[in-house]
Amino acid sequence: MHLRRLTLTTLALPLALAACSSDREDQSSPGTSVAPNQPAESAQTPGGEQPPEGSEAPGGVGETPSSEAPPPVTGLEQPGNGSETGGAGTAMPMPAPTPFNCVLPELPDAPNLTYLNEKLPDPFTFLDGTKVTTREQWDCRRQEILAIAAKYLYAPIPPAPDSVTGSVNGGAISIAVTVGGTTANFTATVAGEGEAIVVGGNIPGGNRTLTFGAGFQQQIQTLFGFAELNPNIARGWMIDRVMDVLEQNPGSGLDPSRLAVTGCSGCGKGSLLTGVFSRVPVTIIIESGGGGATSFRQVEWFRNGEGQSTWTCPDGPPQGIDNLEDNGACGPWVTSAARHFRDNPERVVNLPIDQHLLLATIAPRYVVHFTNDNGNGWCHLAGTSEALAAYAAKPVWSALGVPERMGFSMYNANHCGASAQQTALIGEMLRLAFNGDTTANTNVLNILPNGVQQPVSEWNDMWIDWDMNTVLQ
């Protein structure tokens, strides 16, 4: 496979490259692969009144959540409880890493992909087979995953501009960006009261909202000469520009470290993409469904493979890449880059990533992830495959020494209608992320045993052939 040095202009990704002074060397896996413990599966009784079906944000989001968080169900051997990090970002002392030269593969067009993997791709192995053994290498692997996601699903991705300046007047934010010889002006507004500044919805305990001036997506497209742009990726680009300006104006009273993005259903897909293609500190993904934080491979197995015989949902097969709506809430969720896989869903086994890897690129930032067992006529949203993606992504946070920064829980409720008790994990994660409260119960992987269409006990043998207990140095 031909390799080339990664540059920002080459891939148009707003990513900082790893420091480099020596070429990548093939490295063997650190130690013998150890099969992870099978996850305990814990039923959770839904609590509280359920809001009407179809509401966009989860029920109880305006209420203070119950102090009873979902029970932790950690099916992975953890390298630590995460307290070594200080919870809110205090770095663990680390020896100086060996300089690493970050390169990315030349990616063929989708029809020419020869990669083949029926299992979920390994987050800890580069596409060329090099093992990821250090945190510095993970940063490069993360860039590789994002480049693959852009190439085959989400391109184009706007890079960071050449310069950003701006001012803050109360809640009014003015932003000027320069790309080449062109300057464009954007606006954003923070309104309301609360600890968090949220894009996309409300969260328990109340929050301020961040919105952007009309026409910002078209402005970005014009600035970079793009014929199309995923609206959620455009939103992520705007969040980064707001953070740039707030960092330049530390006396504004608006703290960029307290930004979060959230959304449910189609907007849960949007929240995932905004979190992935930005540096927003906290990402909250609620019932994102097919095409969101769900495994493409398992969905295709359910839709057209042997999994058809185990699928018992009454409302049809799960939502996959081939039947995504083009005009759903917060959509479209992919761009024309995904055309090959939308037309040929059986070829998802040739895609060098799956959505667990996209989710994992948010690490080591904070993620709260929910899915519904969807027993109320919405099981076509593939809650099973969303749980599998979370199960396969969480080892990355563990490998980085911060397992407490990623929490996942499955509940039983109407679609986007979970109670405050069922979504209490949001409040717990914000205590950790914003206040450094290491007593917060966030290191959670809660999967209802009767809420999945394939037993969790079968997942490792069928979907995982890599070490889920990897620890990065």
Predicted local confidence at residue 376, as pLDDT: 57
Quick one: CATH architecture of 58-83+108-162+195-211+255-463? 3-Layer(aba) Sandwich (3.40)
308 vs 286: CA distance, rounded Å: 26
What are φ and ψ of residue 110, in 5° steps? -55, -45
Distance set, CA 310 to CA 60, 130, 137, 307, 454 (Å) = 34, 36, 39, 5, 7
Predicted confidence (pLDDT) at residue 29 exceeds the cutoff of 70: no
* Cα 4 versus chain centre, distance: 27
Model confidence at 151, pLDDT cuts 50, 70, 90, reads very high
Lowest mean per-residue pLDDT among 50-59, 120-129, 193-202, 274-283: 50-59
Residues 6+ apart with CB under 8 A from 44: 70, 71, 409, 410, 411, 412, 422, 446, 448
The tens digit of pLDDT for each residue in 397-445 reads 999 999 999 999 999 998 999 999 999 999 999 999 999 999 999 999 9
What's the pTM value of the predicted model, to 2 decimals? Answer: 0.81
Q: What percent of the chain has pLDDT over 70?
A: 78
Quote the tokens at residue 392.
């396969």
